[in-house]
Chain A
Amino acid sequence: MKTIILRTASNYLLPVLLMFSIFILLRGHYLPGGGFVGGLVAAIAFVLHSFANGLKNTKALLKFHPGFLMPAGLALSFFSGLSPMLFAGDPFMTGLWYHGHVPVLGSVGSALFFDIGVYLVVVGVTLTIIFTISEAP
């Protein structure tokens, strides 16, 4: 599917879709969206790019194996759950909130970091599976 139109389009679509996925991730707490969907959208963006430009180019673009996003995301989620234990002495996964209003994001709390972790894991998992299968001999 290496048509010139798709290739050109995907080069523009990739950043747009990634921005969109982050947008979905961040609005999740107030409007439909969230880490899971956002992660899927980001993964679709990369898959589209790889269809248009070949897997090699997408991998070169990524610089590292998407699998590394999984432990990073898991660790982020875990520590956001752990943070109330460490900082406030509350039980695991109690929501910690910054008392104030951050523009664009709204209330910022441990749940946001948890969601970012989910986002990373989903991107990592999806891309790992799809890349591995499409590379299989």
Chain B
Amino acid sequence: MLLAIFLGFLFALLLVFAGKFFKGKFAVLSSLIPLGLFVYFLQFIPEVMHGDVVKESYNWVPSFGVNLGFTLDGLSLLFCLMITGIGTLVFAYTSAYLHHHKYLDRFYAYLSVFMAAMLGLVLSDNVISLFTFWELTSISSFFLIGFNNTQEASRKSALTALGITGLGGMFLLAGVIVLGNITGTYSIAEMLNMAPELIKGHEYYSIAVILLFGAAFTKSAQFPFHFWLPGAMKAPTPVSTYLHSATMVKAGIYLVMRFTPVLGGEEIWNTTLIIVGGVTMLYSAIHSLFRTDLKGVLAYSTISALGILMFLIGMGTTESFTAAAVFIIVHALYKATLFLTTGIIDHQTGTRDVTVLSGLRKVLMPVGIAAIIAAISSAGIPPTIGFLGKELTYEATMHAPIIATLLIVGIVITKMLLLWAGFVAGIKPFQGSLPDSLKDTKMPGPLMWVPPIILAVLSLVFGVMPFIIEGSLIKPVVSALGGETGEIHLALWHGFNTVFVLSLVTITVGTILYFVIKPSKKLEMMIGKLEVASPKSLMEKFNIGFTQVSSFWTRVFQNGYLRNYVFIIIFFLVGMVGYTMVGSTKFNLDPAILSNISFYELVVSIIMCIAILFTVFTSSRLSAVVAMGVVGLTICLVFVFYSAPDLAMTQFSIDTLTVILFVLVLYRLPRYLKIQDHKMRIRDGILSLLFGGMIAVLALEVLSEPVNTEIGDFYAKNSYIMAHGKNVVNVILVDFRGADTMIEISVLTIAAIGVFGLLKLRLKRTDRVQ
């Protein structure tokens, strides 16, 4: 399973070398990766159907209880199949949609990293690795949303999305750590095995819940964090399809579902989910009425659907879990279809403005068929699976534990509006007469129109034959959530009852609504006026304020003058350390314990003093640097005297290179400028003397403290036994603290890339942002 998860990362790595191959004619081959994974995950269905849970575990940081543990149960299987299945279609679709795009290989790399991260997220059993994959999805989606990085709007919405979902990631980290403290484990399976009262009765229970909600609500675009999702529609359409309808935004839903058996069932859990989900579904369903951009309509109806899912999970009954599981499939199928068809419309006509588009059935017939089936499924009209989803949702809401009447009104209104949104996106562009401006629209290649057809057909097949998914997908999901699976029977015909009446009402009123309210610019303008009070603009105002404060801070403290930085750093150091030292310094130096000063030590000190005086009083930069180099070398000698050859060697080489570097830099600077007047020199002199004196006192003070050699002894004793090395310094660097070294060389590399980028990278005129 590990390989299955990491396959996406490996493929991205391969693209670095084989990018040319995959962005040319063979781009479509990339879809073999998700296809292979899809088949791989399909073979787990029989096992999972029988209630088995597939587990795998690898050690990662066992000393912290952090391991790469993977669990494949009904819930993860459903998500895995969605991620890889829709992934296959999206990968194939992309090869046509971004045909011969300059950076198609990069796009595939981001996409496959995202897919891998998503698989890791839904399969993780360890909450820390879950968090890691969670953040990886945020980061890879940042690259995908900002793919057209020459457009400012693209960059901005990518940043917004990363800001919101990244913030949620921090909540998640805090949440899982709190949870780990409560339960004493980071493994979800072990949390499930604990007595629920132990977790729910804990004093930190509500904190953990709030933090996890913070993560789930930001990721799944719940009110008031929903605004990043419509903004993210700046991404190329395959991204919108994949991330913003089928997978990433459902990560929050997944998180809530995953933790329902652990944390759910309490008042705070259920009520919050119902309220937040309810508000989100209504708010954004209403908002979708005011959009004229097809992707805008779809974005808002997606948020609404995510709200419905939260709402359903919040009710916490077996019925509502069933409805949620079915609705996840329903939504993934119809929304992905609609996004794909929208992408085709955009690609072939160059516009997504729904007020302009009409009559496209005459030129894009197969696309139209897919879109219309998806629209019907989204409206919940039989015989699609959307109908099943809607019936189950109504049924579950009617039996809701609290204020069922109010909730059913809310969900019915939402569904009516969603019907409108689905019709606008799936039917409106294809009906009516074809305007002259769109006469030349051509059918795209089959790589583009087959994927939506497949998804649309699945909507129909699952609707007519719900038994395909009943046992294989829905029941395992519900049992993973802690529901009773015995009472689940999916069927198109439920009999003539209240739910059916509600369905009829929804469809009738929704259809009337569709004919009455046409999307128009006027409506969009109207809602634009209310924008001032929206969470988005509040967030933007906060951003502006934040930027102002930070630029003020930068102007004052980081003004680009190195001397200023050094002054501030030393000033604060003297203040802080000096303050601590005053009064607490005993300073009882015993001359008897000091060793004699040898002749060469004296010589080295004199050389050092001369070099320092020379550095201070010279009027040439170059000689100051050389004099500083002399100081450095004399320090090396001191290291040699006190038997630290490793340190001396390193310092010696570093010093040589530093002088070379300084000379290279100084060579390019203007001639020596008088940057200090008399007063500043005195000020700097006093500060330097204070600092030097303080360090000297500190060093002497350390001498009078008892020395703890425990750590040193450990390394000295074990370096040969455990790491086969006699040079303790080197053994510490490459073995005992190898991870530190690993990070250090990464930092070095980043610094070098930074220097290279700053000095070398000149964008070509065409690549520059206009």
Residues of A within 8 A of B (CB): 24, 28-37, 40-41, 43-44, 47, 67, 70-71, 73-74, 77-78, 81, 85, 89-93, 95, 97, 106-107, 109, 111-112, 114-115, 117-118, 121-122, 124-126, 128-130, 132-136
Question: How many of chain B's residues touch chain A, expressed as a range?
Answer: 35 or more
| Residue B616 CB within 8 A of the other chain | no
Any A CB within 8 A of the CB of B39:
no
Contact partners of B749 in chain A: CB under 8 A: 70-71, 74, 121, 124-125
Are A41's CB and B653's CB within 8 A?
yes
Residues of A within 8 A of B653 (CB): 37, 40-41, 44
* A129 CB contacts on chain B under 8 angstroms: 661, 751-752, 755-756
- Closest CB-CB distance, A40 to chain B, in whole Å? 4
Tell whether, in the assembled complex, residue A111 and residue B729 are in contact, meaning their CB atoms are under 8 Å apart. no
Stretch in B336-344, B380-388, B671-679, B731-739 touching the partner: B731-739
Interface residues of B, dominant DSSP: helix
Give chain B nearest CB distance to A48 CB in angstroms: 9
Q: Using Cβ atoms and an 8 Å threshold, which residues of chain B touch A40?
A: 650, 653-654, 657
CB distance from A137 to the nearest CB of B (A): 9
Beyond A34-B729, A40-B650, A126-B657, list 4 extra A-B contacts (CB 8 Å).
A29-B726, A107-B724, A124-B749, A136-B759
B59 engages A77 (CB within 8 Å): no
* Chain A nearest CB, measured from B396 CB (Å): 45
Question: Complex: how many Å from CA A135 to CA B665?
Answer: 11
| CB–CB A34/B727 < 8 A | yes
Pairwise interchain contact A47-B649, C-beta atoms closer than 8 A: no
B668 within 8 A of A: yes
**B542 proximal to A (CB < 8 A):** no
How many Cβ-Cβ contacts under 8 Å join chain A to chain B? 154
- By the criterion CB–CB under 8 Å, are B657 and A43 in contact? yes
7 pairs of residues in contact across A and B, judged by CB atoms under 8 Å: A37-B650, A41-B653, A85-B59, A109-B723, A118-B745, A124-B749, A124-B752
A81/B738 contact (C-beta < 8 A), A36-B733, A40-B653 known: yes
Q: How far is the CA of A73 from the CA of B58 in the complex (A)?
A: 26
**CB-CB nearest 8 A-B residue pairs:** A40-B653, A32-B645, A107-B724, A29-B725, A125-B752, A121-B745, A34-B730, A111-B734
Give the distance to chain B from A101, nearest Cβ to Cβ, in Å: 10
Residues of B within 8 A of A91 (CB): 59-62
Q: Which residue of the partner chain, among A32, A67, A117, contacts B756 with CB atoms under 8 Å?
A: A67
CB pair A114 B752 closer than 8 Å = no
Residues on B lying within 8 angstroms of A by beta carbon are 58-62, 645-646, 649-650, 653-654, 656-657, 660-661, 664-665, 668, 722-727, 729-731, 733-735, 738-739, 741-742, 745-746, 748-749, 751-753, 755-756, 759-760
A133 close to B665 (CB less than 8 A): yes
Which residue of A24, A35, A118 has the most chain B CB atoms within 10 A of its CB atom?
A: A118
* B746 closest partner in A (C-beta): A74
Nearest-neighbour CB distance to chain B for A22, whole angstroms, equals 15
Chain B residue nearest to A78 in the complex (CB): B742
Q: How many angstroms between the C-alpha atoms of A92 and B760 in the bound complex?
A: 36
Q: Which residue of A lies closest to B724 (CB)?
A: A107
**B748 CB contact (under 8 Å) in A28, A30, A33, A121:** A121
CB distance from A44 to the nearest CB of B (A): 6
Interfacial chain B residues near A125, Cβ < 8 Å: 745, 748-749, 751-752
Quick one: given A32-B645, A92-B61, A121-B748, are A111 and B723 in contact (CB under 8 Å)? yes
In angstroms, how far is the closest chain A Cβ from the Cβ of B594?
27
Using A129-B755, A130-B660 as known contacts, say yes or no to A89 and B725 having CB atoms under 8 A apart.
no
Interface core residue of A24, A40, A97, A117 (most chain B CB under 10 Å): A40
Q: In the complex, which residues of chain A have a beta carbon less than 8 angstroms from the beta carbon of B726?
A: 29-31
Decide: A34 and B734 in contact? CB cutoff 8 A.
Answer: yes
| Known contacts A47-B660, A67-B752; A37/B649 CB under 8 A | yes
Q: Which residues of B contact A35 (CB under 8 A)?
A: 733-734
Do B724 and A97 touch across chains, with their CB atoms under 8 A apart? yes
Pick from A24, A29, A93: contact of B724, CB under 8 Å = A29
Docked CA distance A70–B745 (Å)? 9
A107 nearest CB across to chain B (Å):
4
Are B727's CB and A128's CB within 8 A?
no
| CB-based contact B742/A95 at 8 Å | no
CA distance A79 to B726 in the complex (A): 24
* Nearest B residue to A75, CB-CB: B13
Q: Is the CB of B665 within 8 A of A92?
A: no
A118 cross-chain contacts in B, Cβ below 8 A:
733-734, 741, 745
A92 (CB) vs chain B CBs: closest residue? B60
| B730 close to A33 (CB less than 8 A) | yes
Contact A32 B759 (CB under 8 A): no
Q: Are A47 and B657 in touch, CB under 8 angstroms?
A: yes
